[in-house]
Amino acid sequence: MTVKDRLIHSILPVAALSVTGISNIALHTREKMAEVMESDYVLSQKPEASPDGVL
């Protein structure tokens, strides 16, 4: 088996392992963002935000 064959045959396992790692990071980021958006600071600043919604 040549180096080229090994590289080609490793693409699928690497992709599968990467997707599971990325999904964990995405879920953690989503959870923390929801937590921050419910914080007192953000809730108190929303009424004072500019018309385009930027805090």
Q: Has residue 3 got a pLDDT over 60? A: yes
Residue 48 and residue 23: Cα distance in Å, rounded? 35
For 4-54, the pLDDT digits (tens) are 999 989 999 998 888 888 988 999 999 999 998 888 877 777 666 666 656
DSSP 12-52: HHHHHHHHHHHHHHHHHHHHHHHHHHTSHHHHHHGGGS-TT
Find out whether 25 and 33 touch, Cβ atoms under 8 Å: no
Find out whether 25 and 32 touch, Cβ atoms under 8 Å: no
